[in-house]
Chains A and B, each alone.
Chain A
Amino acid sequence: MISVKSLTKTFGRTVAVNNISFEVSKGEVLGFLGPNGAGKTTTMRMLTCYLIPDSGTATVAGCDIVEDSLEVRKHVGYLPENAPLYLDMDVVSYLEFVADVRGIPSSEKAGRIRRMVETCGLESVVGRYVGELSKGFKQRVGLAQTLIHDPEILILDEPTTGLDPSQIIEIRQLIKEIGKERTVILSTHILPEVEATCSRVLIINEGEIAASGTPEELHSVAGGEDSIYVAIKADDEGVPEKLSRISGVTAVKKVGDLDDGYIRFLLKSKDGARVGEEVFRAAVENGWTINELHRETLSLEDIFLKLTTKEKSA
């Protein structure tokens, strides 16, 4: 649906997007994740023909973003960052304007607008001026605008920024709903958001792709080792040594003395679930007592920080 090859965009001496390539297939919900200034917005602006890349090419719905930019824009619904809207219009005139520019025949217009009002939950604000609406409703009007021509592709730049928690959940629900039959790219800083809405993630940092994959795949990309914490009370001295002999364990560290003679160890392994069982078995064999055994997988947040700070320090 979207195919991006070595896109590059510079502003003066800032390289905003540096040689980015990726593909998005039909029906995917792709999340752009990255710190401020990573190049997410710039990439989206090139895909929506607001900016022209310095080099590289991209096709959206089979059309080239430079050669065929009008066709591209017909297939895409775009919600820019902060959902800018014509504040001096009322909600319905605004949607009518977008429908007119998009060439929706007047016989269908009223029906489409009614459907948008329903889908985006705008019933209570139809007669109001856009400028008077709360941030959440502005965001909904923005979404309604992106959907009015029933596009195959949606590009949403930080659709939930600035909303309160309940609005965030509602907008996410809405995106999930409307993303069922569409290809979606959305950008965000909020990590749980990608896990909640995206089928695939692209971590962008300093204009380059730092990692890409499903949230699960990213765990292994980041060298995703699980941490297993275990607190053991034993008479023999060889506990750490025996623990490290368990297959799959890459490191054993004593992390603290607890009350009642328990000692807490931290084990690192790629296969945390099996190692947990092995630890238990070893305890039974050696007559240790265990009063704590739990496993922590690397969260997307850890991966994000790891990937985006690793590059900076290098």
Chain B
Amino acid sequence: MLNVRNLTVNLGRQTILENLTLTAQVGQITAVVGPSGAGKSTLLAALTGDLSFDGSVTLNGHDIARTSTTRLAEIRAVLPQATPMSFPFTVLEVVRMGRIHKTMNNRMASEALTRVGLHGFEGRFYQELSGGEQQRVQLARVLVQVWEPVAQGSSRWLFLDEPVSSLDIGHQLQVMRIIQDFAVRGGGVVMVMHDLNLTAMCADSVILLSNKMVMHQGSPRDTFRDDLLSSAYGCKIAVNRAPEDGMFLLPQVACAAS
């Protein structure tokens, strides 16, 4: 379980996040949503130990500030929003970096690539791929890092920053299925999302971030309410129910300002 209490992040003289308290459960997908600039990436950077912060963040009961880099790498993998690379590595070599300290054969890497829909891309140069293909190669790298259970049985975690934002709808669904599969097999997932419809479809828990704070955390059904979303995003949003308990969102034409 991921437990965040009274998290405050300052960058320079600016307070980016103030006094956040939230949780994420193993076996669930926790989505972080909110308008651009709300601090979603900053929150993820704090949770993965890249930024210094005030407050406490514990992963599986251990304070992440006091856990070693190597130990953290065993139980959690992180997918950045974009990963430019400066040397001409092949796709296979990039995926293998996910298990840089462990043994790994090429078959494992190929399986991960097949899983993200990049079968046969092993010998291509990473730099010559499209943005969406690069993002999926990185997803494969992140998957091989935590796909196998850890020896002591602690839960594994995936932290993803907009994993599907540069993908078409087919690949978006494919990636969401992989992530759901990971959660079903006992992993925890925290991911930043922009697409509220996809979030409503796949997430078990949603954190709505706005104005440096957590506006609401709960199931998609609880969080996606007209009033909460409209005030967070600053425009009129209507949530509609689809048959069979589904849900879809429609932004209204009139903006809140007018």
Q: Is the pairing of A and B real?
A: no
Interface residues of A (CB under 8 A from B): none
Please report B residues at the A interface, Cβ cutoff 8 Å. Answer: none
